[in-house]
Amino acid sequence: MNNYGMETKEFKEQKSAIKGISFIKSRKAYINVLGINKDIYNTAKKNGIEITDFFVDDSNSKDYDREELTKLISFMENSSAEVLVLRNLYEITDNPDDVREFILLAEKCGIKIYCMAAGPVAITIRDDESGC
């Protein structure tokens, strides 16, 4: 399975909670989205991440330039958040090149990506892009 140059690095234990934000892509009913956010919040908290802001994209699009993702990116560029919590990377987009671009943007903003599907690890781009 091709990982598009992504690697994972474990979060180091810290004495204080890490400030985080969450993004989900879901067209489910509002009550279900609240449940998803609660699960994300609880999982993040167990891993030392305190989520302060939630973003929910209920659009039908998976395009990288959609409105809610643009809001998230703007927030990331102007935020003191340290971690973005996702259920999986495909919530950003299903295009591998755009996922890679997003990860690099997050790194530029000083934000690590915690992908719940991968476990309590930060998703990064390898310096060595061999195998992509």
For residue 25, how many other CB atoms are within 10 A of its CB? 21
How far apart are alpha carbons 43 and 68 in whole angstroms? 23
Domain assignment present for residue 132? The answer is: no
What is the H or E stretch that residue 25 is in? strand 18-25
Indicate the pTM of the whole model.
Answer: 0.81
Domain assignment present for residue 36? The answer is: yes
Domain assignment present for residue 24? The answer is: yes
Task: Provide the residue range defining the domain that includes 103.
Answer: 6-125
Domain assignment present for residue 77? The answer is: yes
Domain assignment present for residue 51? The answer is: yes
Residue 126 has a pLDDT of 66
Q: Dihedrals φ, ψ of 61, to 5°?
A: -90, 150
Domain assignment present for residue 83? The answer is: yes
In percent, the amount of the chain with pLDDT more than 70 equals: 82
In this structure, of 24-38, 52-66, 76-90, 117-131, the range with the lowest mean pLDDT score is 117-131
Mean pLDDT of the chain: 84
The CATH number of whichever domain residue 31 belongs to comes to 3.40.50.1390
Given a contact cutoff of 8 angstroms between Cβ atoms, the answer to whether 51 and 22 are in contact is yes
pLDDT of 130 > 70? The answer is no
How far apart are alpha carbons 100 and 71 in whole angstroms? 18
Question: Into how many domains does the chain fold?
Answer: 1
